[in-house]
Structure 1
Amino acid sequence: MSNLLALLDAVDAQPVAVETRARSHDLLGDVTGRTVVDVGCGGGRAVAELAGRGARAVGVDLDPEMIAVARERWPVGEFHVGDARELPFETGSVAGYRADKVLHTLDDPARAVAEAHRVLAPGGRAVLIGQDWDTIVIDSDEPDVTRRLVHAKADSLPSPRVARGYRNLLLDAGFTDPVVEVHTAVFTGDTALAVLRRITDEESWLAGQAGRARRNRIFVAVPMFLVAARG
């Protein structure tokens, strides 16, 4: 848990991550005094940011440890243990819905998007953010090995390519007026190496990347798909 939180904190601090979160909040519209749910809230940073914009911001995460961390870090927010597929909200009671880097962990992401449509009030906005796990870009002297490792990681996840389908998932669930953007996160140094260690534990390949990091030659790019639509 501590290693994952440290990595999430490092990623969240990257300029493109800050920019992408702010853009996701903007796409929710005016949330002042309205309920906004952040599904898969993790450590709760986005919930705190939305609360700072005047929303009644509610974070939901399946992991009780993450919820405990979020409550400790961000007392301005409201946090609950819950499932993206069965949210603790009445039908039509939420003005905004946000899910960041969570749908790839679900074996039926369409069910979660249908649940988003259920809880949103008419005209409410949903924003989905995430990476397509087949499109991670890594500079390497072993491109064939690198391609194999990236695809192996992707294939280990329930829905690794769901981000490329966000637009269609939203349309299929009854959402309208989708907006699609791509924001690319670039990692170098120790943060890049930490990202790669979440992809593979193949020691020889990681040793080569650690050598690159020591020479300031490590490079990882992750396109993040951001899609917003109206309920």
Structure 2
Amino acid sequence: MTATDVLIQMLDAFDGRPDATALRARSYDLLLPPGGPGGPVADVGCGAGRAVAELSERGVRAIGVDLSEQMIEVAARRRPDLDVRVGDACALPFKDGELVGYRANKVLHTLPDPAQGIAEAYRVLAPGGRAVVLGQDWEATVIDSDRPELTRRIIQARAEKVRHPRAARAQRRLLLDAGFREVTVEAHTAVFTGELAMLLVSDTVEACRKAEAVTDVEADEWLGEQRLRAGNDRLFVAVPFFMAAGTRP
């Protein structure tokens, strides 16, 4: 199983949650004007195509773009009717002003330059077009633990493995700097208490272990505590998401 296969499985698990479904729906409401967009809308970093499919079901001419050929292959296999394309978020395969909507979820933190990604959104949007960007703040993850100092170190070490862990808190600034107007920001928090919470804490500490940010003893003791919590239904993980939207003048 490739890393992309694992990522797709994780995304399917997380994105199928009711709160994730509601968050996507909220992003569509911010993206689409009353009566529909009247033109093409891009979902950048579309992954396996869930949002592209949901937008299409709303009657939107939705186009999915992802840098991963494997992701695009999966999206096309799952929904052959979707318009999905391989493309770079910092060099989108669209003409200037070709789109009326731009959406990017969990993308900016992966880019070499988040500002360039937002500048591309501005370029491909027609005047009056809407951009909506969503992302998690990697440094602000909350994990309940009896060892708060070690937990803070683990969260910080995991964040440092992300190219731009604070990109989500910068979304408003990036939109304004690119020239967008009527910029709004919303905060949403995803709470995990079951199997997905255990998956999150395991991924977090193992990434830190590989980076030698924690010792094997620290990682094992911390993960052992979390497993005990899981056995007693006492796990708690909260992940803050920020969603910013703006209009191209």
Using the size of structure 2 for normalisation, the TM-score is 0.89
Matched residues in 1 for 2:203 and 2:117: separation? 25
Consecutive unaligned residues in structure 2, runs of 5 or more: 210-218
1:32 Cα shift? 4.9
Matched residues in 2 for 1:35 and 1:192: separation? 37
Taking a change above 3 Å as real, the CA distance of residues 80 and 209 of structure 1, as seen in their structure-2 partners, is: same
Taking a change above 3 Å as real, the CA distance of residues 214 and 3 of structure 1, as seen in their structure-2 partners, is: farther
1:183 Cα shift? 1.0
Post-superposition Cα deviations, 1:95-143, rounded to whole Å, max 9, x if no partner, equal: 1000000100113100000000000010000000001111001011111
The answer to whether structure 1 residue 145 and structure 2 residue 150 are counterparts is yes
1:206 aligns with one of 204, 210, 223: 223
Report the aligned-residue RMSD. 1.3
In structure 1, the partner of 2:122 is 117
In structure 2, the partner of 1:103 is 108
In structure 1, the partner of 2:9 is 6
Q: Which moved more, 1:204-213 or 1:109-118?
A: 204-213
In structure 2, the partner of 1:222 is 239
1:135 maps to amino acid: A
Question: What secondary structure sits across from 1:92 in the alignment?
Answer: coil
Taking a change above 3 Å as real, the CA distance of residues 33 and 71 of structure 1, as seen in their structure-2 partners, is: farther
Cα pair 2:136 2:240 within 8 Å, conserved: yes
1:151 Cα shift? 0.5
Cα pair 2:135 2:243 within 8 Å, conserved: yes
Post-superposition Cα deviations, 1:13-41, rounded to whole Å, max 9, x if no partner, equal: 22221111000001112345521101111
Cα pair 1:37 1:57 within 8 Å, conserved: yes
1:211 Cα shift? 2.1
Cα pair 1:47 1:58 within 8 Å, conserved: yes
Q: Which moved more, 1:208-217 or 1:28-37?
A: 28-37
1:74 Cα shift? 2.2
Matched residues in 2 for 1:93 and 1:102: separation? 21
Alignment of 1:164-203 (within 5 A): 164-201=169-206, 202=209, 203=219
Q: Work out the number of aligned pairs and report it.
A: 231
Matched residues in 2 for 1:90 and 1:198: separation? 39
1:71 maps to amino acid: A
Cα pair 2:137 2:166 within 8 Å, conserved: yes
2:46 aligns with one of 30, 41, 44: 41
In structure 1, the partner of 2:21 is 18
Question: What secondary structure sits across from 2:90 in the alignment?
Answer: coil
Cα pair 2:189 2:241 within 8 Å, conserved: yes
Cα pair 1:60 1:82 within 8 Å, conserved: yes
Percent identity among equivalent residues?
A: 55
Matched residues in 1 for 2:184 and 2:121: separation? 17
1:25 maps to amino acid: Y
Consecutive unaligned residues in structure 1, runs of 5 or more: none
- In our comparison, the structure showing a higher alpha carbon Rg is 2
Question: What secondary structure sits across from 1:124 in the alignment?
Answer: strand
Matched residues in 1 for 2:204 and 2:47: separation? 19
Using the size of structure 1 for normalisation, the TM-score is 0.96
Cα pair 2:37 2:101 within 8 Å, conserved: no
Q: Which moved more, 1:171-180 or 1:73-82?
A: 73-82
Cα pair 2:37 2:100 within 8 Å, conserved: no
Question: What secondary structure sits across from 1:134 in the alignment?
Answer: helix
